[in-house]
Amino acid sequence: MKREAFKMFLKPGFENEYEKRHAALWPEMKALLKAGGVYDYSIFWDKDTNILFAVQKTEGDESSQEMGHNPIVQKWWDYMADIMEVNADNSPISIPLPELFYME
């Protein structure tokens, strides 16, 4: 099991839309993440900075951040591009965060 954290950037005024879209996460996207070994995945929002803080556990070789080759992920990126800061390929700008402390 591996834990990963990263941050992304929400465009101002889109927090409700972001939450709405994730509440209706596509079944095929959820299945892809689970099949890839991603579980216990949370995204938090810092309303003062519009930074999204994500934490996930993985059992497989890929985190959600390494699945960009999949057409379902690429379609999700396109769907989310209007409300997030993204790269030229519509992947979210995502910055990995190193773990400095963990308490079981």
Pairing of β 95-97 and β 38-46: unpaired
pLDDT tens-digit series, residues 16-45: 999 999 999 999 999 999 988 899 999 999
Number of Cβ atoms within 10 Å of the Cβ of 63: 21
Catalytic residues: 22
Task: Kindly list the structural domains of the chain, giving each domain's residue range(s) and its CATH number in brackets, ordered by start.
Answer: 2-97 (3.30.70.100)
Say what the pTM is. Answer: 0.89
95-97 sheet: strands from edge to edge: 38-46, 51-58, 2-9, 95-97
CB 19 within 8 A of CB 84: no
Q: Identify how many contiguous H helices and E strands the chain contains and give both numbers.
A: 3, 4
Taking every pair of C-alpha atoms in the chain, what is the biggest distance, in angstroms?
39
Structure tokens at 42: 């949370």
Distance (Å, rounded) from C-alpha 33 to C-alpha 67? 9
The parts of the chain modelled with pLDDT lower than 70 are: 61
**What whole-number percentage of the chain has pLDDT above 90?**
80
